[in-house]
Structure 1
Amino acid sequence: MTTRKSYTLTEATKKVEYYCAYQERCHKEVAAKLREMRMIPEAIDQIIVHLIKENYLNEERFAHSFVRGKFNIKKWGKKRIELELKRRDISPFLIRTALKEIDNRAYQETLDTLIHKKLATLKESNIQKKKKKLADYLLYRGWESHLVYDKLNNLVK
């Protein structure tokens, strides 16, 4: 039988300070980490308040960082990013604000690039099946359906 380490308030605070300094976190992730460390609800609240006061935890900063990362690195569309932020209990206002960080021209260029890259890998000869595979791929990544279908109708013939 393995016994899990128990933490004092100070030890837990230091551990989650490092956890937050390493990478931007949302409140939900930090609370889950503290529950995993078997901290009581009062201690969790106290530590989260400390992290906010000391600027280790900032949901607005997290939302902006999340949007930049998922768009620039993973090439996700706005719908997928919005869904993932909602799952992390980020407020609708912060989600809207953070999504404004994506430049419209860069958004369109990224969609075009994704379409051309994926088209190059599709070996399907049936045009309708090819369009469906491409649309499914882009919709899964969170691109808006009207943008996807507009592009596909103009591109794949």
Structure 2
Amino acid sequence: MQVSKKTYTVQEATRKLEHYCAYQERCHQEVRKKLEGMHMIPEAIDVIIVHLLEHNFLNEERFAKTFVSGKFKIKNWGRRRLTYELKKKDVVKVNINQALREIGNEEYIEVFNGLAEKKANSIKETDKFKKRKKLINYLLYKGWESHLVYEKANEIIP
């Protein structure tokens, strides 16, 4: 039995992608993958992406700002992790830097300190070296800058 793949006209695919982009901010890479998954030919993909850009359904600068804001506020990611994740999505450096500037330094340090304190209190380790190591690994994984992490770890767990 042959399973037929659903095919789309450029108009159908464009409508589908307009909804896809309107529902949630997307980066160019996500849109391209979605269109490839719909078995669209490269020429059609380019036409649709241009349409989405022209009609403001797709805006990478807006995507980067939304991504940074969400991951920073909800997941408490630091600048290094945010940069890494956006680079993985092929977002250009200008948009990454623009989005990172949206986070105020005061707020950044406040979130970092709160996260570090909360994590330090939750680590059930009696050996202070192991406890400090666990805290450092956690904060580095979250993408916080190493100078902040080591300074804070030594301050919280002397």
The answer for the alignment partner of 2:80 in structure 1 is: 79
The answer for the alignment partner of 1:153 in structure 2 is: 154
Please tell me the residue identity of whatever aligns with 2:18.
E
The answer for the alignment partner of 1:16 in structure 2 is: 17
- State how 1:24-43 maps to structure 2 within 5 Å: 24-43=25-44
The answer for the alignment partner of 2:50 in structure 1 is: 49
Tell me, in whole angstroms, the C-alpha distance in 1 between the residues paired with 2:8 and 2:153: 55
Tell me, in whole angstroms, the C-alpha distance in 2 between the residues paired with 1:54 and 1:114: 40
Offset of residue 2 of structure 1: 2.9
Tell me, in whole angstroms, the C-alpha distance in 2 between the residues paired with 1:115 and 1:4: 50
* Cα deviations by residue, 1:31-88 (Å, 9 ceiling, x for unpaired): 0000000000000000000000000000110111111011011110000000011011
Q: TM-score, normalised by structure 1?
A: 0.97
Q: Gaps (5+ residues) in structure 2?
A: none
SS in 1 for 2:136: helix
- State how 1:1-150 maps to structure 2 within 5 Å: 1-150=2-151
Offset of residue 155 of structure 1: 1.6
Tell me, in whole angstroms, the C-alpha distance in 1 between the residues paired with 2:104 and 2:18: 32
Tell me, in whole angstroms, the C-alpha distance in 2 between the residues paired with 1:30 and 1:11: 15
| 105-114 vs 37-46, greater mean Cα deviation | 105-114
- Taking only aligned residues, the RMSD between alpha carbons, in angstroms, comes to 0.8
Mapped contact 2:80–2:143 kept (Cα < 8 A): yes
Q: TM-score, normalised by structure 2?
A: 0.97
Please tell me the residue identity of whatever aligns with 2:83.
E
| 78-87 vs 113-122, greater mean Cα deviation | 113-122
Please tell me the residue identity of whatever aligns with 1:125.
T
Which structure 1 residue ranges, 4+ long, deviate > 3 Å from structure 2?
Answer: none
